[in-house]
Amino acid sequence: MNVLGIETSCDECSVAVVVDGRKILSNIVATQVERHAPWNGVVPEIASRLHVEWIEDVTTRALDEAGLSLKEDIDAVAVTSRPGLIGSLLVGLSYAKGLAWAADKPWVGVDHMMAHLYAPHLEYDIEYPYLGLIVSGGHTILCRVASMDEVEVLGTTIDDACGEAFDKVAKFYDMGYPGGVALDKLAENGDADAFRFPEPRLHKGPHRYDVSYSGLKTAAVNQLEQFRTVGYEASLENIAASFRKAAIDMLVKRVRLAAKDTGIMRVVAGGGVSANRYLRIVLNEDKKLETYFPSIALCTDNGAMIAALGYHRLSKGERSDLNLNAAARVSGFRRPYP
Ligand code: KG4
Ligand code: ZN
C-alpha cells in the first residue's frame, strides 16, 4: 500500500511516500527554521502561513521523488490531525482532505505523538511489549506499549516538556537556534560536573514515573551560581553539559525504574529529544536494556512517520471522514493514550 503522509503540526512542512509502512520512497522536509530564528522560537502565525505557501510544492516534490502519481499510484493519504499548533495542523489537515476527496482516496488523521513512537518501526522489526519514551518540544511521555493500539501512559511531565526546557535554557544563554540542537552541540565540549543541579523530588507512589523540568530550568537560568562546583568556569559549554546531563538523567532514571517494575527491558525512543547525543549513548550503553532509536532524520518531525502510522491504521480498516477536526491538545493523555 502506497501511503502519502502529510505533517504540518509545527514548523516543518513535510510530505512523504511510504510503502507498506516500511519502505520510504520519499520524505521531503521543508524546514522553516531560518524564518523563526530571528524570534528564537516558533511563531505560530508565521508557521501556518508558510505551510499554506509551501504545502503544494512539497507534496509535488514528494510524489516526483517517489516517481508516483497521486491518482494512479497512491492508495491512501495520512495526515497529522493532533496535537500541535492549531493553525499549522489545520493547513495540513485541510489540504489532505481536499487531496483525498479530489483523488477519491481513503484517508486517515493520525496522532503526532503516536507517529513519533512508530518512527523506529520504519527501520527495525520491534517486538512488543516495550517501553516507549516519546520526548519532543511539547510532550514527555513514558509508556508501556503492548501493541500500537494498546498504549498505557506510565509517566509524563508535570510542567514543561523536556525539549521545551532545552529550548528555553538555550534561548536564555543565546546558545543558538534551534535550542535543543545547539545546546546538545555545546555540551559536547563542556564538563557536566561544573554544575550540580538539584533533582526534583517527585512522587514515590503511582506517579513515580513523572518528571518535572521547571525547577531545573529555573536553577539553570536564575540560580546558576548556587550550583557551580568550585574550580569550574561558568562557560556556555559547561552550563550546557551540566544541564543536559541533569535533564536526560531524569528521563533515564524513570526508564530504568519502569523496566525494573514491569520487567520490560525493550525501550523504543522517539521525538526530537531522542536525537540527543547523551541520551542515545546512555541508553545504548545500558546492557540490561535493548533500546531502539530512530535515525536522526526520523527523530524530528517528518511525513514518513505519519505515512507509516497511517498505513498501520488504514490496514486495520480505520478511515477518517471530512468532519474530522484538528486538535491542539489530546485530552487525558495521561492514561490511557491516545
Ligand atoms: O519532535 P519535534 O521535532 O517537534 C515536536 O513534536 O515538538 O521535537 C522538537 C524538540 C525541540 O524542543 C528541540 O529542541 C528538541 O526536540 N531537540 C533536541 C535535540 N534535537 C531536537 N533536544 C535535545 N537534544 C537534541 N539533539
Ligand atoms: Zn514532533
Indicate whether 322 belongs to any domain.
Answer: no
Query: Ligand 1: which of 89, 157, 166 to mutate, judged by most atoms within 8 Å of the beta carbon?
Result: 166
Burial of 144 (0-12, 13-18, 19+ CB in 10 A): buried
Report residue 150's pLDDT band, with 50, 70 and 90 as the boundaries: very high
Strands 23-31 and 12-19, by their bridges, are: antiparallel
**In terms of pLDDT, which residue wins out, 336 or 241?**
241
Average pLDDT over the chain reads 96
Rounded to an integer, the average pLDDT of 175-193 is 98
> Is the same domain home to 62 and 175?
no
Residue 51 has pLDDT above 60, yes or no: yes
CATH value at residue 56: 3.30.420.40
Ligand number, closest to the Cα atom of 187: 1
CA distance linking residue 91 with residue 9, whole number of Å: 9
Residue 335 has pLDDT above 70, yes or no: no
Residues having CB closer than 6 A to ligand 1 are: 10, 116, 136-138, 163-164, 166-167, 178-181, 184, 271-273, 275-276, 300-301
Amino acid 113: pLDDT = 96
Amino acid 2: pLDDT = 98
Whose alpha carbon is nearest atom 6 of ligand 1? Answer: 136
> Is the same domain home to 102 and 153?
no
> Is the same domain home to 234 and 256?
yes
> Is the same domain home to 148 and 213?
yes
CA distance linking residue 257 with residue 250, whole number of Å: 11
Candidates 278, 296, 300; CA nearest to 189 is 278
Running DSSP on this structure, what letter comes out for residue 194?
S
> Is the same domain home to 141 and 231?
yes
> Is the same domain home to 150 and 99?
no
> Is the same domain home to 92 and 142?
no
Report residue 334's pLDDT band, with 50, 70 and 90 as the boundaries: low
Interval between CA 135 and ligand 2 midpoint (Å):
8
Rounded to an integer, the average pLDDT of 59-65 is 98
Amino acid 93: pLDDT = 98
Burial of 31 (0-12, 13-18, 19+ CB in 10 A): middle
Q: What is the atom index within ligand 1 of the atom nearest the CA of 161?
A: 12
Query: Ligand 1: which of 300, 309, 333 to mutate, judged by most atoms within 8 Å of the beta carbon?
Result: 300
Burial of 232 (0-12, 13-18, 19+ CB in 10 A): middle
Question: Which strands make up the sheet holding 76-82, listed edge to edge?
Answer: 23-31, 12-19, 2-7, 76-82, 107-111
> Is the same domain home to 147 and 278?
yes
Query: Ligand 1: which of 114, 167, 181, 279 to mutate, judged by most atoms within 8 Å of the beta carbon?
Result: 181
Running DSSP on this structure, what letter comes out for residue 225?
G
> Is the same domain home to 107 and 185?
no
Amino acid 336: pLDDT = 53
**How many domains does the structure of the chain reveal?**
2
Based on its alpha-carbon atoms, the radius of gyration of the chain, rounded to whole angstroms, reads 20
Amino acid 188: pLDDT = 98
Proportion of the chain above pLDDT 90, given as a percent: 94
Rounded to an integer, the average pLDDT of 233-255 is 98
The model carries a pTM of: 0.96
At a CB cut-off of 8 Å and minimum separation 6, what does 245 contact? 187, 192, 278
Three-class secondary structure of residue 40 per DSSP: coil
- Residues forming a β-bridge with 14: 7, 29
Interval between CA 70 and ligand 1 midpoint (Å):
31
Amino acid 333: pLDDT = 54
- 3-state SS of 241-254 is HHHHHHHHHHHHHH
Whose alpha carbon is nearest atom 26 of ligand 1? Answer: 276
Rounded to an integer, the average pLDDT of 33-53 is 97
Q: What is the atom index within ligand 1 of the atom nearest the CA of 12?
A: 3
The answer to whether the beta carbons of residues 225 and 192 sit under 8 Å apart is no
> Is the same domain home to 170 and 289?
yes
Interval between CA 71 and ligand 1 midpoint (Å):
35
Residue 202 has pLDDT above 80, yes or no: no
Amino acid 164: pLDDT = 97
> Is the same domain home to 75 and 133?
no
Proportion of the chain above pLDDT 70, given as a percent: 98
Cell of 298: 526520523
Residue 331 has pLDDT above 90, yes or no: no
> Is the same domain home to 168 and 272?
yes
Indicate whether 63 belongs to any domain.
Answer: yes
Question: Which strands make up the sheet holding 266-270, listed edge to edge?
Answer: 150-156, 140-147, 130-135, 266-270, 290-292
Expressed as residue numbers, the domain containing 150 is: 126-293
